[in-house]
């Protein structure tokens, strides 16, 4: 009996010459992982990663890094975020949003605008925040949402973290709906803000809707839907010139400029580049001396800055971070990438 040889599957070709960040406008009810998978297929690249999960019910800006740009995913994640969210007062849920098991507090007195404004005062600046039980925060390598779905309990006070709310603005208040725009540091849960605000007002609260309007300079206005990308980029052949993709990549120079900068002398530049200066207070003191508020905010919140040689010979990207695997304790400075004059990020 003759053996039948199955035809080989066609070899999948991936582009290794395309590197950049695509600002995707995520649709509702789509996971961040599904967005990454779609971008990978559309651009025909093998190495892809996003820069901060958006809940499926949320929409808006989701930066996706391709090839060499994936190395800078943590830098983009460090940028501040701007969200527009609608909080529903008078109700609560186990997920802190409308997708969970909702309990409506019938007959509760809803606050007036003055009471709302007074309560929001405690949600500006640095605050301690407890993440939702249904979140991607990991405990012993397992996401909390998996533990919650399995019926496990966990002392959430162990996961309290410091975040910074730079700006909290009321767009409108038509009880029970409170429409807010919030600019905040990385790691901030808007669902927790909805829950905590509701508790503070004595009404309960949950997040009814959420749009991420910006990640640093990557805004909704400069983002693309997956349907747009699929229609315009998808048909391009793997042999197409890289320059044909430029309109869909966020300019690397603009990304670099969005990272707070501090000028240092040559000696300090070399020590920072080699990782010999690790204490954030050294740069915080210098930034305060130079009245560089954004650099101070970023260092205190635990983000990325660029220290540039005052002689113009280069710049070093530095991450101010906690020790590996920790979210509390003493932050330290760690050089991420040294760029000579005129060198591009990717």
Which residue numbers are catalytic?
Answer: 55
How far, in Å, CA of 260 to CA of 237, rounded? 38
Report which DSSP code applies to 288.
Answer: H
Cα distance between residue 207 and residue 148, in whole Å = 19
Determine the longest span between alpha carbons in the chain, in angstroms.
86
The single-letter DSSP state of residue 245 is: G
Backbone angles phi and psi of 88, in degrees to 5: -100, 115
Rounded CA separation 58/85 (Å): 9
Lookup result for tokens 């330290």: 332
Q: Can you read off the two tokens belonging to residue 75?
A: 């830098």
169 bridge partner residues:
181
Measure the CA–CA gap between 190 and 329, rounded to whole angstroms: 23
Contact at 8 Å (CB) between 77 and 264?
no
* Those residues with Cβ within 8 angstroms of residue 201's Cβ, 6 or more apart along the chain or in another chain: 89, 111, 115, 116, 119
What is the rounded CA–CA span in Å between residue 306 and residue 262?
Answer: 6
How far apart are alpha carbons 137 and 145 in whole angstroms?
8
196: left (phi over 0), alpha (psi -120 to 50) or beta: alpha
């Amino acid at each position: 009996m003759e053996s039948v040889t199955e035809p080989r599957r066609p070899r999948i070709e991936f582009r290794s010459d395309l590197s950049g960040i695509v600002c995707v406008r995520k649709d509702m009810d789509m996971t961040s992982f599904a967005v990454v998978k779609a971008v990978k297929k559309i651009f025909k690249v093998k190495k892809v990663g996003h820069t901060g999960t958006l809940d499926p019910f949320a929409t808006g800006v989701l930066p996706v890094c391709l090839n060499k740009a994936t190395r800078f995913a943590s830098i983009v994640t460090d940028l501040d975020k701007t969200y527009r969210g609608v909080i529903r007062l008078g109700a609560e849920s186990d997920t802190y949003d409308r997708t969970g098991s909702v309990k409506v507090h019938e007959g509760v007195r809803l606050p007036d605008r003055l009471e709302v404004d007074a309560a929001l005062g405690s949600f500006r600046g640095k605050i301690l925040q407890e993440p939702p039980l249904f979140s991607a925060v990991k405990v012993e390598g397992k996401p909390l949402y998996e533990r919650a779905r399995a019926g496990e309990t966990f002392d959430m006070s162990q996961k309290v973290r410091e975040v910074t709310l730079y700006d909290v603005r009321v767009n409108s208040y038509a009880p029970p709906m409170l429409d807010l725009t919030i600019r905040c540091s990385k790691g901030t849960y808007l669902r927790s803000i909805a829950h905590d605000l509701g508790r503070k007002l004595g009404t309960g609260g949950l997040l009814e809707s959420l749009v991420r309007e910006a990640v640093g300079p990557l805004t909704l206005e400069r983002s693309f839907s997956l349907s747009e990308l699929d229609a315009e980029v998808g048909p391009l052949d793997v042999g197409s010139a890289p320059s044909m993709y430029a309109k869909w990549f966020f300019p690397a120079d603009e990304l670099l400029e969005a990272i707070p900068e501090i000028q240092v002398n040559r000696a300090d530049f070399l020590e920072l580049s080699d990782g010999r200066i690790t204490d954030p207070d050294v740069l915080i003191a210098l930034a305060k001396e130079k009245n560089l508020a954004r650099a101070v905010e970023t260092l205190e919140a635990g983000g990325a800055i660029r220290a540039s040689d005052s002689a113009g010979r280069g710049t070093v990207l530095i991450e101010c971070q906690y020790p590996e695997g920790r979210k509390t304790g003493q932050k330290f400075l760690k050089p991420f990438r040294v760029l000579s004059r005129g060198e591009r990020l990717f």
